[in-house]
Structure 1
């Protein structure tokens, strides 16, 4: 059997269908392929599977490529199935010469009726192969009828002949890199269609022909494709070709236990862009979801193996990635965990990059310019750096920047706070001179207010926070006041009636 993880000449592919925008599950599949190629020094291929011409749209293809670029997932080669019809015809002709395919004159309507009968009988639908042994007269007659209707006979793989040519093997087996040995009874598959009555190649045929023809060594894809794999292996067996290594990764599930799809808002990439998640953080999260990364360390001469969740860069993820450690069980998507990872990545990026993101992705050039002009370049950078370490998303940071403006208004005008305590705090903060207005001086003013009011330290800081930011929680109020300075702080407190 072929080596399960052959490192030489690794070539993987991501093959989305342009029938909708790229969703979060698709990004995970693309990323697993990408880091697998990085790990083994291989190639990552992007192939657009647009055999469904009725639903495939060029604009979706464009958006898919745009999103992959945003994530930094660069491909080494590009193919589009709609441009490869001649390739499929070539391999279909080989099967014809080997007498392993036949024309089927059962219409889509007839097949649909057969499937409905199977469902009512609570049995799996298996094509009965009635067109496999038609006489020349029957074929000629039916062919004429199809021609009159402007349709073609579909082309089916003759599984019985494929099995016989291969030595009458009893099962279609393959060693899945994630799930281990998987076995299927070929008699339960039925002679399946390679080319439809509309003269179009089916997914299973075009996909595996492409995988072989462009030299794909490992097919890493969602576990919803497991049922397609025995059919694809049978096609390659019929052509006397060796299948690639298959690795079927778990799908992403929402908290409701349902598979996340293109229709789910939480699966939409645009949502995460607008919320201010970093692409690396999303990839980091997707990598550890349904997966295990282990690091070996030595402490006091003893080896210690620990799990790793936050990475320094994409290369580190690739180096530690092991396809055999990907769990076969369901992967539950959690935005809270994603936020946690995004928070760590935000803290690690340079302040200059955050400023660039705010300008280019959030159209915040005017907002940042206003902050810079109000506080000066040095304090401006200090504020951005401070906020970078206090929030979980770029969108939250942008909202917090507005706190520092003189015309800042809270989301709600009705903020309940202790007016008398506010007056005490104001009196004590006024005593601090402008050139002495630092964190220690502010702390002492708050302590003095505690003594005078009989309130707790917590009460004082909560009142300050409410009056300055309009929120009961958030980053260090001491640092916010320090950045704002004496005049802005007192003005904000005076403005609270």
Structure 2
């Protein structure tokens, strides 16, 4: 009684005209607001609906919220909420106001800086643990440690480790953290996720993915996670596992010189004769063929790599050849030899 009044159909909260309202912030310390600089505020609109500052105080109190941790853009709301809380005779929660997250251009983070939805990050191939790790580290630190599991974050997080300066959203750092978590991921789980993203990205059909088998898919996941930073990158890098012509990158043009046609056919014949198609057996057959030709591996390695994967960078060459499988490898080497002879590339 006496804290509110009605005006123009709305209910207003009366701010004291004198004195100071002090916010004891767990991060910022003591923050003082002169009541004379605060204005009376509407707490119930004319249609009977409550406003934000009134509703959140009542809701937090009813829900027995003990700590309100939020961005420092809400700091100016806090003295009003404290006054409402006291007028209701309720115990206010403890407040901590965190610095804002800024975009790379040091302006307030917004949609124009990129993806803002968790589902969008999922679609782009980020792991949940990577996102949690990244966002927990925005503005908070624990020594020099960069990678944290959820369990470690629960154990180690403390407001004393939160900085007072605004943090910058650095997607390059997010990609690095995601790569670290890809390398740490359980291989069975990663293989299942890779299969989903191969289909999502239109790299291959579900039936084609299933035809690889669990063991081969796991081998692919193990190899591809070393050089790719997201599941989407891994999915596209897996394109060489499936039938179809692979587009060559611009930087690969000129690799198929006419004089490589013979060596490529010789290598294809050697690989065709492999009793096993393991990385070790592939290496022995390939090096044996090159020894007969008097050529070093580096003379043909990039041409073989691009012919089989469509990329100039890939996991180890012998691993890639073994993983792609005899049938695909022979077909692509012979096609590359034909293109080399014709000068098509």
- TM-score tier (shorter): 0.7 to 0.9
Structure 2 SS opposite 1:216: coil
TM-score (norm 1): 0.60
Give the direction of change, closer, same or farther, for the CA distance of 1:451–1:103 in structure 2 (3 Å limit).
farther
Provide Cα deviations, 1:47-85, integer angstroms capped at 9, x if missing partner.
xxxxxxxxxxxxxxxxxxxxxxxxxxxxxxxxxxxxxxx
TM-score (norm 2): 0.84
Is the 2:197–2:235 contact (alpha carbons within 8 Å) kept by the matching residues of 1?
no
Instruction: Identify the residue that residue 199 of structure 1 maps to in structure 2.
Output: 48
Are 2:6 and 1:103 aligned? yes
Is the 1:222–1:250 contact (alpha carbons within 8 Å) kept by the matching residues of 2?
yes
Counterpart selection for 1:354 from 190, 193, 207: 190
Give the direction of change, closer, same or farther, for the CA distance of 1:451–1:362 in structure 2 (3 Å limit).
closer
Cα distance in 1 for residues equivalent to 2:26 and 2:288: 63
Cα distance in 1 for residues equivalent to 2:331 and 2:289: 20
Structure 2 SS opposite 1:199: coil
Are 2:228 and 1:378 aligned? no
Are 2:16 and 1:160 aligned? yes
Cα distance in 2 for residues equivalent to 1:396 and 1:429: 29
Are 2:90 and 1:253 aligned? no
Counterpart selection for 2:166 from 330, 344, 368: 330
Cα distance in 2 for residues equivalent to 1:411 and 1:186: 69
Are 2:114 and 1:278 aligned? no
Instruction: Identify the residue that residue 308 of structure 2 maps to in structure 1.
Output: 468
Cα distance in 2 for residues equivalent to 1:423 and 1:179: 73
Unaligned runs of 5+ in 1: 1-97, 106-151, 164-169, 295-306
Cα distance in 1 for residues equivalent to 2:225 and 2:122: 17
Cα distance in 1 for residues equivalent to 2:318 and 2:198: 28
Q: Report the Cα offset of residue 427 of structure 1.
A: 2.0
Cα distance in 2 for residues equivalent to 1:412 and 1:99: 75
Is the 1:204–1:232 contact (alpha carbons within 8 Å) kept by the matching residues of 2?
yes
Instruction: Identify the residue that residue 482 of structure 1 maps to in structure 2.
Output: 322
- Between Structure 1 and Structure 2, how many residues are aligned? 331
Are 2:178 and 1:342 aligned? yes
Unaligned runs of 5+ in 2: 340-345
Give the direction of change, closer, same or farther, for the CA distance of 1:210–1:478 in structure 2 (3 Å limit).
same
Give the direction of change, closer, same or farther, for the CA distance of 1:422–1:192 in structure 2 (3 Å limit).
farther
Provide Cα deviations, 1:233-271, integer angstroms capped at 9, x if missing partner.
111222333321111122221112221235653223332
Is the 2:176–2:229 contact (alpha carbons within 8 Å) kept by the matching residues of 1?
yes
Are 2:61 and 1:212 aligned? yes
